[in-house]
A and B are shown apart, each in its own frame.
Chain A
Amino acid sequence: MTTIRLRPRVRRSKVLYSIIGVVVALIWVFPVYWMLNSSLLSNVVLQDATPTFLPIGGSFANFSAVFAGGTFFPALGMSVVIALIVVVLCLLFAFLAALAISRFRFRGRKAFVLAVLLIQMLPAEGLFIAQYKLLSSVGLLNSVIGISVLYTASVVPFTIWMLRGFVAGIPIELEEAAMVDGLSRTQAFLRITFPLLAPGLIASGVYAFLQVWNEFTIALVVLPDNASATLPLWLQGFIQQSASRATDWGQVMAASTLVAVPVIIFFLFVQGRMTSGLVSGAVKG
């Protein structure tokens, strides 16, 4: 809606809108800024009656303290291992299923697509008690395997949906042309379609990673042991302490920063894909 010749009235209202825009942006980013700012300040400064708005004289002491605390690295390890397992399984399973629904017409296809979409909407809170019982009955509470299976199941539906779009976007004619040229169906797929799918696989993989990395609800229920805490569980431990005694908020914010930064970086990668995947029916892009 760019107009070439702006009338003075339009120009003035544009300035006004821009000012509002800047104010809103500042308000929205403030919590993130405050996290970074506080993570660099010492607890003494943070407990001051007047807040310090710039991290002048700040240091990375809070981060060293978090590392030295000894609980960060086990939680990081737990999160990384679980995320890797789930991303690999999820991509593999979802890729095969996406292939089935976008390249084949078969009986039960509609039902499968419907099930995938419905399962994707189910809230973790509606199932976690039963999932807890399932894992405890086979002795897999507090284990990497147990939670990885649950996570794979909860992330796989949307990943199938996302990959389906990518597979459908590659014209079957490309494969068929290669088959005319003498490649087998499998060869045609591996040599032609698969390389074109790489961006889709990466985007879906990052999406799955983010879901797992941030997940709190299921982890809270099936990883009751502190020793097997993932990063979100580890982080909530700080909130728990904050209720009972004087918290070192600088350290808590340093811990939050450590959890948030990789997520923010990865998120910027896939944001566009996620939006279009969720509302693809309504936004034609």
Chain B
Amino acid sequence: MTFLPKPRLHHPDLAANELGFTRRDYEGSISTLCAGCGHDSISAAIIRACYELNLPPHRIAKLSGIGCSSKTPTYFLGNSHGFNSVHGRMPSVLTGANLANRDLIYLGVSGDGDSASIGLGQFAHAIRRAVNMCYIVENNGVYGLTKGQFSATADRGATNKRGVANQDQPIDLVSMALQLGATYVGRSFSGDKGQLVPLIKGALSHRGAAFIDCISPCIAFNNHQGSTKSFDYVREHNEAMNALDVLTGRDEITLDQEPGTVEVVRQHDGSLLKLRKLDAAYDPTDRIGAMNFLQTHHARGEIVTGLLYVDPDAEDMHGFHETVDTPLNALDDAVLCPGSAALDKINASLR
């Protein structure tokens, strides 16, 4: 498979945003993922979020690791620099990129294998360092490119395509992100654009480590009865969850809560997912409350989605490191090199 350019023709009346860009200006090349893959919906949500936020495409840097999800940055934001790094190591590359230029927006795209298995350490440390980023895990519970092995987010008892049950406990990246100090934490579904787009917009606008766990079931290897991350179900659910919070800025995040409900959608193969929206009593600025809420509902077999925690006044890595306002990559010789006079003094002190 090689590069697939997308035709540049589009409808002449396609709407433009405040910068004069149409949605097409935020697209990438044609996806090479399986037809109907949930990851493509997440790409579409990213495109729409950036369009609606009026972000200059070139001011976004998109980074990923290895895996199906990590291929997706090719399929959106074609005018942005992208970096498909090594397996599980996107967080460190993104951290370094962010250190170099604090003025860009950093979008990290990863998968459950990439972030919960091989890259669990880097996931954890990027979050605890408060790297200013939007970190999205496209979570399908399996390894797709190697044909269907369980990942570390697969639920205990969930079966693979051949009917073998997973015996290992799942890693819940949302709970980990909360524990590690992420200052914007959300969970969503790939199909629920109404919920996902505003969640991404909020994360892109957030200063600090923003994390979104987006369940995006695998149509090829995790779309069967017995799977707890099945794609068909999400498609049905997408209709039910059409209208969710619309977030345009940090201030509105705490205001636009929908009352909490549990939605249960049965897939054609019979697998079940319960989706809980944020209820009226839920306080998304209470980290400990959010962790308790998640654990309680997880024990009931429910999956809580939406914006789960936000600290609107969060500081980021640059704040903690007290770096100058000018991006480090824009500093010149005059301020970087102490010069020969300083060196003479150093020499004198070394005798």
Indicate whether A and B interact.
Answer: no
Q: Which residues of A are at the interface with B, using a C-beta cutoff of 8 A?
A: none
B residues at A contact (CB < 8 Å): none
